[in-house]
Structure 1
Amino acid sequence: MDATTTLIAGVRKPTRREFLAAGASFGGFALVAGLSDADAADAPAAAPKYGAYGMPNGVVENPLVFVSIADDGVVTITCHRAEMGQGVRTGVPLIVADEMEADWAMVRVAQAPGDEPRYGNQDTDGSRTTRHFFMPMRRCGAAARQMLEAAAAARWSVPATEVEARNHQLVHKPSGRTLGFGAVAREAATQPVPAGDALRLKNPSQFRYIGKGKLGLIDGFDMSTGRAIYGQDVVLPNMLFAVVARAPVLGATLSGFDGAEAMKVAGVRKVVAIKGSPIPSAFQPLEGVAVIADSTWAAMQGRRALKLDWQDGPNASYNSATYRASLEAAARQPGKEIRNDGNVAEAMKGAAKTVAAEYYTPHLTQAPMEPPAATARIDGDRCEVWACVQSPQAARNDIAKRLDMPADKVKVNVTLLGGGFGRKSKADFATEAALLARETEGRPVKVVWTREDDLHHSFYHTVSVDRLEAGLDAKGKPVAWLHRSVGPTIMSLFMPDPKQMAGFELGMGLTNVPFEIPNLRIENPPAPAYTRIGWYRAVANIPHAFAIQSFVAELAQAAGRDPKDYLLELIGPPRKLDPRSLGDQWNHGENPELYMVDTGRLRRVAETAAKGAGWGRKLAKGHGLGIAAHYSFVSYVAAVVEVAVDAQGRLEIPRIDIAIDCGAMVNPERVRAQMEGACIMGLSNAMLGEVSFDKGRVQQDNFNGYQLLRMNAAPRRIEVHLMPGGDYAQPMGGVGEPGVPPIAPALCNAIFAAGGKRIRQLPIRNQLQA
């Protein structure tokens, strides 16, 4: 195996012999399950918006999943999504292996490069991988199994109905004869791919891996022993290293620079200017100056020696405190109508009591453990990139556009990601590497981002002010509800100053609030963007859940009610609501007829988390329980947080109970791990997370400024309650993101229960000591 392949293949990687044995020449078995060119030509011109199983059109119809079998029986399954700790490189191949009756010990995983025409959608975000590709992967595995069975039947000259795949063997049922997968791999490759209506999927009762939770991460050994290859680990022969001095303010331009002193640093080879893209720039790099050197250290020392003259532009006025005041002012004025049920104004006039509160969430940044990194090499008219990207096809397209090169001349190899959380779906760092590789006469260049680079030049989670007002009747039940949510939108990356949230942001827990309130109005006042706004784990669900679930607890207090009982009363009896009737036209991109908002499931997770936490039990002085429940990414999650607050305002978290209903599960242990991680991340956001700006510049430089939850502050116990999964034929929900939103409000509600301090602005930090 050559050096390049060794670096990108990941762990449990196929050897060169295995790849050659299963290559395009069908020296073994290779399968692409999807539409042929002829099939695609016959597809209806006006396809429905949603395919079967509630997935966007083009996913089920054209899964494009690749499977190969070597002569020795080793099965290589290509994973087309990015692994960043969520277990996708285990979960996706596991589905295929189960359907094809492969022995997991004989399975290897290869990582797909960016090539959506071949592999299907590769954008690893939105908690979509399993729910969009569970059925396509099953179909691929079933097709492989039936082709193997047909090949064995032909070898034995028996009907295919007499052959059955069992644990990596083909068994002739009448005689008991057996053949291994490898023995018939070559013949199987010549069998026609079964048509969709001819596929025989397993009965779920026959699953050997799916839903069992008995398999560890396929990458686990290499990750735990330091052998795994992440973006920062890539090393190619004759490689150079680069760091970039980027625009300190969004939209700043370079009026001049002097690289003479940088060139005097030992090991520095070249100083190159990178031209920024006009605003809005989408995911293109910021304007900057790169220093290319023999080592990262030399490049960093050269960057320090640069003399740069920046013209900051209009965003230099961006100040977090001033901007917050402007958001608060906007939230106190009418905004764009998003949903309007009944007549809130009239109902407010007749209310026995009114309650109002404002909630503030600051900018957050993804801060993955591995900062962005990418390596690029240009050879003639081709560019090859190795990078820790969540969206390799988008990276491929962006690089091709910037290099003015056809996309089929660009190859993006995906390494493991040391965390992503949405940051690495924006491949500006990979484009930087490609631009610099063009300047090095064929030598590969690795662009390294430091932690300071990552914090100063991210795509930040939006800052938000949410104002809620409610009118209560004499029994404390809300008869009117007004919610104004205001913050800069992600769409500012793609269009000039849109100021209003996009439909997908509004559909993240804002418009689709499923409460039984007769008069309900939701508005979105305008907010300009002064920095890059991007995806962050759970996205706009974070501020919406924080505000709504905190306000529910405030209403319970005003009504003199138990917060859990009050929340369940607002959710109402079990019923299935068309999200469109709630003003949500997006519905996470899913078919609203298959993915309805199910208040029964939302109730159940709230009740389960409360029962697990012992809601209503007698607590020690200074202890409190808080509850929150939220629907996002077509899953239902509730959390109950227990806190202890002493007389000095010191906060401890003895326990969190979190319940999730995501439908049927492929790998329950991964679901459990994602919920545990969501608890930690949600606490980190609530207690410490904040990116602030002054003069257009980020004020936090490293983890001393942008703090994350430390081990001594973590909950002593996290109990995850997995709701029964149901039928595998039913649509699945997401897992990676929906655990985060309810944590902050549950924590803040618990703090109030423990000592009466109401938290309405994040992060909490020293508010309890005030």
Structure 2
Amino acid sequence: MTVARNPGVSVEAARSALNPDVSRRAALGGALALIISASLPSGVLAKEDEPLKFGRDAMPNGWRDDPRVFVAIDPEGIVTVTCHRSEMGQGVRTSIAMVVAEELGADWSKVRVAQAWGDETVFGNQDTDGSRSLRHFFMPLRRAGAAARTMLEQAAAAEWGVPASEVVAGDQMVRHEPSGRKENWGRFAERASKLPLPDPASLKLRAPADFRYIGKGEIGLIDNHDFTTGKANYGIDVRLDGLLYAVIARPPVFRGRVRKFDASAAMKVPGVLKVFEIEPSPPPTEFNPLGGVAVVARNTWAAIKGREALKIEWDDGPNASYDSAAFRTALEESARKPGKTVRADGDVDAAFAAAKQRVTAEYYVPHLAQAPMEPPVATARATDTSCEVWTCTQAPQATRANLAKRLGLKLDDVRVNVTLLGGGFGRKSKPDYVVEAALCSRAMDGAPVKLTWTREDDISHSYYHTVSVERIEAALDERGFPTAWLHRSVAPTIGSTYVEGAKNELPFELGMGLVNLPFAIPNIRIENPEAPAHVRIGWFRSVSNIPHAFAIQSFAAELAHAAGRDPKEYLLELIGPDRILDAAALGDVWNYGEDPAVYRLDTGRLKRTIEAAAAGVGWGRKLGEGRGLGIAGHYSFVTYTAVAAEVEVKDGEIAVRQVDIAVDCGPQVNPERIRSQMEGAVIMGMGLGLSAEITFKDGRSEQRNFDGYDLTRIDASPKILNVHLLPSGDYDGPLGGVGEPGVPPVAPAIANAVFAATGKRIRGLPLNKHFGA
């Protein structure tokens, strides 16, 4: 099998680094009779000490619909499904295995999961982002399971000399119905693996009425035992013989660099082995290391103490004077001037000239850090000719490509082993930390090195969620309903990470709830003034939907108040009659990367989620003093979500008492995971809305740990949190996303509830900052 040309690194070493308690044979998905898995295609089981190799020839039959990419069956009938996406708490390993097992007809108790290594030529796109793992692979995985079942039936039929149409595979057995003959399907796995792939058009997928797993929500996590007993292996858990440990002192200001340093005191720290400079890459930033001074030691504590002893003189570079408070003022000034027009419907200027009333508001969302509970970490073994890493990454293929580029290696000479992720939220899509680990290993003559980011490293050197100012103006008629809507969105773009000097939001950012505004307003103009970036900007769970939803849903509630209307009823009227909207007609050329003929914005579905959330929270009920209800709805990642919140404001503190979140993501594959994702989104959204903020002074982050970057703690969680699942469509139709869509409506729903409770309209996050909490 070709998985990594890395002399001196055996299959056994790769296995034991991740889990020393699992045998090599078990880790690779079974014994010699296997239906090709993503870990080992048929006939290529390596010797114990054979170096790993890899490349396209490892999987000549392609990927996706091919069961030999995803399915392995051992002689006892145990099924191992390979997951090609990264597991970071969203349950993708369970859901992918569940889909394959459904069509294969496997007994769930005899299904296991293995993690794919990073190789786009085998697995296709492996980036775990955009809420698209099941959205894109549900049908290919079903076909892979059905093909494996068909091949088992064909193999048994050939051996028994009976028609394949009379043979049925299921529950780890193959049966010949007329004769009653049956045998464990593991006996036919090797023979089945050598058969030609069935024509996809000939595959018989199971009818939804016959599903045992899909849509049932009673599966539980396939890794749950390991999670709850501490056996699960994350990036921080990797161990290799002779392992060394490293940390890096990075420039405190983005694009700063080392002017000079003195390592004499650091080298006196017991355990410190080497101190050396890592040169930053020239702009643009991309996923390159920031540079700085690396300290390698015999343990992480020694490396940290060595770093503390360093004497470094920094050149702070072009962002030395970055001040986030002053930058907010600059963004507000830009928002008050015309910018690049990105959507224009009707005649906005004429409508404003004839308006009975005008309402204007500006909204602010600060920089945010992803702050996963497991900070970035990677273990690398890198020489002049090869590199192998073990890491918690959302983007194994980007990791592999960046390693090859920075180390000057061929892609086939780089191996990326993916561990579990202790959270990601977009931060672990950027593999700068993996490249750092490889550079440290190469500096130690190929010895394995684990590079750890501390929490302070993580918060001070993130790829931050963009800061933004959203200015919205509306012209109202005599009923208080908008005849015109002008929205200016000003925010540094993620494009600045890739293109030096980029200042306008990219199409995918504009398509996140901005240009695809679904309101039934005749005159709409949306503009995007320029904004430079002074820090690294990167993906963050739900990305630009956060500022756009906060502004639009808050402004809708402001308009309702101006019109003397109920906020929920007014929001529904803004959305207008049920209709199907075409993304391109709204100026959205991205459409979450989906076919606009298949994925279209259905305002009826959005309205139903709003109604469901409102019904759940008991909209309209009388509340005591200092309590209020708020609501918000949003469309993102081709899914519809709405949040209704009850808050209490007392003694200058905001307490969220109840949250009801409704979601319509189309057909539901794993309802239990959808529910969990929505619950997590509410808690995360509360943190962003109430307390989280990254500010900068003299180019430096003023927050360094959780004492300054405040996230929602368990004592602040709502006592009542209800998730309302609104199934729609069938399993032959398109699926929506789940991981990200729950976050955007949380903050505006809470802000609107705060207004209902206090009469105080807050237009800047975090909300607690305005109450002195």
1:639 equivalent in structure 2: 643
Equivalent residue letter for 2:606? L
2:715 matches 1:705? no
Aligned mates of 2:281, 2:222 — CA distance in 1? 40
Structure 2 SS opposite 1:533: coil
**Residue 73 (structure 2) pairs with residue 69 (structure 1):** yes
Is the CA contact 1:20–1:27 (under 8 Å) kept in the aligned structure 2?
A: no
Aligned to 1:49: none
CA distance in 2, matches of 1:35, 1:598: 44
Paired residue type of 1:704: D
Counterpart Cα distance in 2 of 1:410 and 1:301:
32
CA distance in 2, matches of 1:2, 1:221: 24
Across the aligned residues of Structure 1 and Structure 2, the Cα RMSD in angstroms comes to: 2.0
Shift of 1:705: 0.5
CA distance in 1, matches of 2:110, 2:44: 18
Task: Name the % identity.
Answer: 58
Give the alignment of 1:254-653 within 5 angstroms.
254-378=258-382, 381-646=385-650, 648-653=651-656
Change (3 A) 1:506 1:265: same
Select 1:219's aligned residue among 211, 219, 223: 223
Q: Secondary structure of 1:15's match?
A: helix
How has the CA–CA distance of structure 1 residues 2 and 26 changed in structure 2, closer, same or farther, with 3 Å as cutoff? closer
Equivalent pair of 1:685/1:763 in contact (CA under 8 Å): yes
2:107 aligned residue (103, 113, 127): 103
* Residue type at the aligned position of 1:529: A
Distance 1:725 1:382 in 2: 49
Q: Which runs of 5+ in 1 are unaligned?
A: 29-33, 41-58
Deviations 1:189-222 (A, max 9, x none): 2211112222221111121111111111111111
Q: 2:235, 2:378 within 8 Å by CA — same for their partners in 1?
A: yes
Q: Which moved more, 1:517-526 or 1:16-25?
A: 16-25
The answer to whether 1:670 aligns with 2:673 is: yes
SS at match of 2:548: helix
The one-letter code sitting in structure 2 at the alignment partner of 1:6 is: S
Q: Which moved more, 1:172-181 or 1:746-755?
A: 172-181
The residue number in structure 1 matching 2:50 is none
User: Secondary structure of the residue that 2:609 maps to in structure 1?
Assistant: helix
> In the alignment, what sits opposite 1:6?
16
Alignment partners' CA distance in 2, 1:20 and 1:386: 24
Q: Is the 8 A contact 2:31 2:75 kept in 1?
A: no
SS of the residue 1:431 aligns to? helix
Structure-1 residue corresponding to 2:210: 206
**Partners of 2:346 and 2:65 in 1: how far apart?**
42
* CA distance in 2 between partners of 1:451 and 1:494 (Å): 26
Counterpart check, 1:731 vs 2:726? no
Contact residue 268 and residue 291 of structure 1 kept, 8 A: yes
TM-score by length of 2: 0.94
Helix, strand or coil: the match of 2:216?
Answer: coil
Contact 2:279–2:292 (Cα < 8 Å) also in 1: yes
Q: Deviations over 1:291-347 (max 9, x none)?
A: 000011111111111121211111111100110000000000000001010111110
Tell me, in whole angstroms, the C-alpha distance in 2 between the residues paired with 1:638 and 1:82.
27
Q: Which moved more, 1:507-516 or 1:621-630?
A: 621-630
Partner of 2:682: 679
**Aligned mates of 2:12, 2:43 — CA distance in 1:** 22
Q: In the alignment, which residue of structure 2 is the partner of 1:741?
A: 744
Total equivalences in the alignment: 746
Counterpart for residue 15 of structure 1: 26
Query: For the residues of structure 1 that align with 2:256 and 2:534, how far apart are their CA atoms?
Result: 12
* Residues in 2 aligned to 1:346 and 1:359: alpha-carbon distance in whole angstroms: 25
Are positions 1:760 and 2:770 aligned together? no
Q: Contact 2:691 / 2:769 at 8 angstroms: preserved in 1?
A: no
Q: Is the 8 A contact 2:255 2:316 kept in 1?
A: yes
Checking the alignment, whether the CA contact within 8 Å between 1:63 and 1:120 is kept in structure 2 is no
Which stretch has the larger CA shift, 610-619 or 444-453?
Answer: 610-619
Q: Is the 8 A contact 1:10 1:110 kept in 2?
A: no
How far did residue 764 of structure 1 move?
1.1
- Give the deviation of 1:650 after TM superposition: 2.5
Maintained 8 Å contact 2:488/2:527: yes
With 570-579 and 10-19 compared, the bigger mean Cα shift is at 10-19
- Give the Cα–Cα distance (whole angstroms) in 2 for the partners of residues 536 and 317 of structure 1: 25
Query: What is the Cα deviation at residue 35 of structure 1?
Result: 13
* Residue identity opposite 1:373 in structure 2: V
Task: Tell me: CA distance 1:115–1:9, structure 2 relative to 1, closer, same or farther (3 Å).
Answer: farther
Q: Give CA-to-partner distance per residue, 1:481-500, whole Å, 9 cap, x none.
A: 00000010000010011100
Deviation at 1:6, TM superposition (A): 3.5
Q: Distance in 2 between matches of 1:192 and 1:288?
A: 54
Q: 1:80 aligns with which of 50, 61, 84?
A: 84
**How far 1:18 moved relative to its partner?**
4.6
Secondary structure of 1:170 counterpart = strand
Partners in 2 of 1:404 and 1:64 — Cα distance? 32
What secondary structure sits across from 2:768 in the alignment? coil
Change in CA separation of 1:676 and 1:283 when aligned onto 2, cut-off 3 Å: same
Task: State the one-letter code of the partner of 1:537.
Answer: R
Report if aligned partners of 2:29, 2:72 keep a CA contact under 8 Å in 1. Answer: no
Alpha-carbon offset, residue 36 of structure 1: 11
Give the partner amino acid of 2:215.
Answer: G
Q: 1:12 to 1:469 in 2, by over 3 A?
A: farther
Aligned-partner residue type, residue 695 of structure 1? D
Q: CA deviation at 1:236?
A: 0.7
Deviation of the 1:27 alpha carbon: 8.9
Deviations 1:115-165 (A, max 9, x none): 010011100000010000001101110110000000111121100000111
SS in 2 for 1:330: helix
Distance 1:709 1:294 in 2: 36
Where structure 2 has 5 or more consecutive residues not aligned to the other structure, the ranges are: 1-10, 35-39, 46-55
Cα distance in 2 for partners of 1:133, 1:11 equals 32
**CA deviation vs aligned residue, 1:34-90 (integer Å, no higher than 9, x gap):** 9999998xxxxxxxxxxxxxxxxxx97889832111111111111110000000111
Q: In the alignment, which residue of structure 2 is the partner of 1:46?
A: none
Give the 3 Å change call, closer, same or farther, for CA 553–238 of structure 1 in structure 2: same
SS of match in other structure, 1:65: helix
CA-to-partner distance for each residue in 1:718-746, whole Å, 9 max, x for gaps? 00000024300000000000000000000
Q: What is the one-letter code of the residue matched to 2:658?
A: R
Quote the residue 2:4 is aligned against.
none
> 2: CA distance between counterparts of 1:362 and 1:462?
7
**Residue 173 of structure 2 corresponds to residue 195 of structure 1:** no
Match of 1:722 in 2: 725
Look up the equivalent residue of 1:5 and give its one-letter code.
R
Q: Offset of 1:173 from its aligned partner?
A: 1.5
Partner of residue 170, structure 1: 174
In structure 1, how many angstroms separate the alpha carbons of the residues matched to 2:67 and 2:461? Answer: 35
SS class of match (1:318): coil
Partner deviation per Cα, 1:476-535 (whole Å, 9 max, x = no partner): 111010000001000001001110000000000000001000011000000000110000
Aligned-pair CA distance for 1:8: 2.7
Q: Per the alignment, in what secondary structure is the counterpart of residue 643 of structure 2? A: strand
The question of whether the paired residues in 2 share the 8 Å contact of 1:10 and 1:229 is answered with no
Q: Is the 8 A contact 1:385 1:412 kept in 2?
A: yes
Please say if 1:244 is aligned against 2:248: yes
